Amino acid sequence: MTQTEQRYRQALAGHDWNYDYSDDHSVWSRGRAQRETLRAMRDEVDASGEIWNSIAPAGHKLHLEGVQ
């Protein structure tokens, strides 16, 4: 596992997956920025989305073509 992949996994594990529901705008802004960073990291490290789906909670998994 590369350091980039390790950082990606750690970022996924520590992400506030429910930031959308926060009434605190700073929490929402931070969560949104982190989600954008995770998406960029996914493009680089996890194009298939398999790592994302192995860590993301239900309701936040990616719909992957050809993966059941």
What residue spans define the domains of the chain? 3-55
State the pLDDT confidence band at 68, using cuts at 50, 70 and 90: very low
pLDDT single digits (tens) 4-31: 999 999 999 999 999 999 999 999 999 9
* CA-based torsion, 38, 13, 57, 21: positive or negative: negative
46 has pLDDT over 50: yes
* CA-based torsion, 20, 23, 25, 30: positive or negative: negative
